[in-house]
Amino acid sequence: MPKNKRAPKNPALNKANGCALLAVVVVVIGIGAAMCGIAGVFMLLNNDASATPAPQTATLDLAYSPEKDALMQDLVARFNKANYKTPSGLPMKINATKLDAADIVEQARAGKFTAINPDSSLWLAQIDAGLDRPLVGEATRFAVTPVVIAMWNEVAQVLGHPQKQIGWKDLLTKARSDPNFKWSHPSTSSASGLLATLAEFYAGANKTRNLTEDDLQNRATLDYVAALEKTVRYYGEGEAATIDQVLKSGRSYLDAFIVSEQMVIYFNTKSAQKLVAIYPVEGTLWQDHPLALLEQPTLTNDQRLTYRRLRDFLLASETQKLILQAGYRPVDLNLRLDDPASPIKTANGVDPAQPQTTLQMPNPAIIEQVQAVWYLAKRPANIYLIADTSGSMGEQNKLTQAVDALNTFLDQVQGDRDRVGLVPFSNRVYNAVAPQDVSKQRAALKTQVSGLRASGQTALLDAVQYAYDDLQKRNERDRINAILVMTDGIENSSQTNLNALAQKIKRTNQTGVPVVIFCIGYGNDADWNVLNTLAETTGGFARRADPETIRKLYKILSTYF
């Protein structure tokens, strides 16, 4: 990254400015206190009750993005342990909460936080979008990391690494020529996914800066991006979730995927199998991890001072060393990336001399258009909803909850490119509805879902096999094919067995149409061995049907579609 883009403010100057600001605040507080005292005297003379002082707090409620969880927990603990105080003697404290970027935006706008630290400044504009006055106030960055294509070392060598620089063109050529090649990037609801998509558009336009609306509408650019997106195996919830899955499943999960450089370092310190970071020759964009103050109506001067103290703490030399050790590139240019103690080195699969080309961040209007165009360019989905209506689902309102979740899911399916089908089952599969464009049968599906009743036994595996076999027969490789299972997981009536089905899926997913399975388990009796086996065999997930999961079900799954 060019030095002038990473250079932090002078720490000494920051400190001096902070001290001067502190002095001003002390004076202002003193004057304010005197004025309040005079006002109090007049109120007493008029026999009125004295005004209750506004509650004062120096505690910041901070939301941060999940990929830097360990680092932020450490830094916040160090800050709180330092026992900083405001001039009035209030302790400066940070209450930190880990949240996905979309939740940070939503909850910041709802007034739940006084400071945020997402993975990218992209989200700051989304917080302020449509507001009468900006909510995002002061902001600074304390760590940066480029977005890279992570590959297994042997895969990268086949493409010519390290003798030549690899880019999006090489990835596209490999994916087109090898049907078994699996790569992924997160959806544009995550920073790494959106920044990667912007890089694809830049590559398609053959530019490194000034991406325009004309570029987004150019047929050659659109064809290039669409070709890349059609080779994506599936999307995902974000880079932290992807790394966790790769750590669990190893080499069989994906051949290549989009993450930030820091995540490659993290993986290589945890696994004997090694990844390498590919910095696309066409250029890349950076996550800049801004620390931003939110100008909430309840924000106090003491909280503002706590924000500034936290900012200075994060920019201090000793903290910047901790940030470097965590695999991020510090903004303190006095810290050398090629120092022997630095984790940013080829032994960890990364290159401190890269990237050689940094792309210009487009303006918010262009970014918004890229997200919209991506939705039209990305692979559409075939989705089978599998609904357990066995007698056990009638207990503890499990079927009622599942019906509500399915109806909510159907309401939230966007556009008309995705196809949705339904497979109800108890002793056997019954009244199955084949996938069609959701706009054509949304209402009919909702009517059928609302009429589901609980009775009989549980032929869960037969239902999964029915949906899986139908997706294979359709053989629509240009679509992402998915199965969503909602059940209490107590299998007792299927003709097939778990091991046979899992082996069949594992084998056919390699030679036929890849299908990803997601399982939502209801109640305390859910058979997690069955649900986890079905999900993990395909790279999906199994989760408990708690209120948060159900509320966010479509949001979570749509990142894969």
Could you read off the pLDDT of 176-226 as tens digits, one per residue?
999 889 999 998 888 999 999 999 999 999 999 999 999 999 999 999 999
Q: In the chain, count H helices and then E strands.
A: 22, 17
- What pLDDT is attached to residue 179? 86
Which of 48-84 are b and which e, b meaning 16 or more Cβ less than 10 Å from the residue's Cβ? Answer: eeeeeeeeebbbbbbbbbbbbeebbeebbeebbeeeb
Amino acid in the structure at residue 327 = G
Under a CB-based contact definition with an 8 Å cutoff, are residues 466 and 429 in contact? yes
Q: Which residues is 387 bridged to in the sheet? A: 424, 486
Task: For residues 177 and 159, give the distance between their C-alpha atoms in angstroms, rounded to a whole number.
Answer: 12
Instruction: Name the pTM for this structure.
Output: 0.81
SS3 297: coil
Task: Write down the mean pLDDT value for the chain.
Answer: 88
Indicate whether 48 pLDDT > 50.
no
Indicate whether 57 pLDDT > 90.
no
Q: pLDDT of 375-428, one tens digit each?
A: 888 889 999 999 999 999 999 899 999 999 999 999 988 778 899 999 999 999
CATH class of 380-558: alpha beta
Task: For residues 66 and 185, give the distance between their C-alpha atoms in angstroms, rounded to a whole number.
Answer: 17
- CATH fold, domain 3-143+288-346, is D-Maltodextrin-Binding Protein; domain 2 (3.40.190)
Mean pLDDT of the 137-145 span: 98
DSSP assignment letter at 429: B
Between 219-230 and 191-205, two packed helices, what is the crossing angle to 10 degrees? 130
* Cis preceding-peptide flag for 162 (omega within 30 of 0): yes
Amino acid in the structure at residue 346 = T
Domain boundaries, the chain: 3-143+288-346, 145-286+347-376, 380-558
Task: For residues 425 and 388, give the distance between their C-alpha atoms in angstroms, rounded to a whole number.
Answer: 5
Under a CB-based contact definition with an 8 Å cutoff, are residues 302 and 127 in contact? no
Under a CB-based contact definition with an 8 Å cutoff, are residues 120 and 195 in contact? yes
Q: What is the pairing mode between strands 183-184 and 256-260?
A: parallel
Same topology, domains 145-286+347-376 and 380-558? Answer is no
CA 355 to chain centre: 23
- Residue 219 CB neighbours (<10 A): 7
Under a CB-based contact definition with an 8 Å cutoff, are residues 164 and 212 in contact? no
- What pLDDT is attached to residue 109? 97
- What pLDDT is attached to residue 62? 98
Indicate whether 466 pLDDT > 60.
yes
Give the rounded percent of residues in the chain with a pLDDT score beyond 70.
Answer: 90
Q: pLDDT of 315-360, one tens digit each?
A: 999 999 999 999 999 999 999 999 999 999 999 999 999 999 999 9
Pair of tokens at residue 257? 């995927």
| Correct CATH for 145-286+347-376 of 3.40.50.150, 3.40.190.10, 3.40.50.1820, 1.10.10.10 | 3.40.190.10
**415: phi then psi, degrees, rounded to nearest 5:** 60, -160
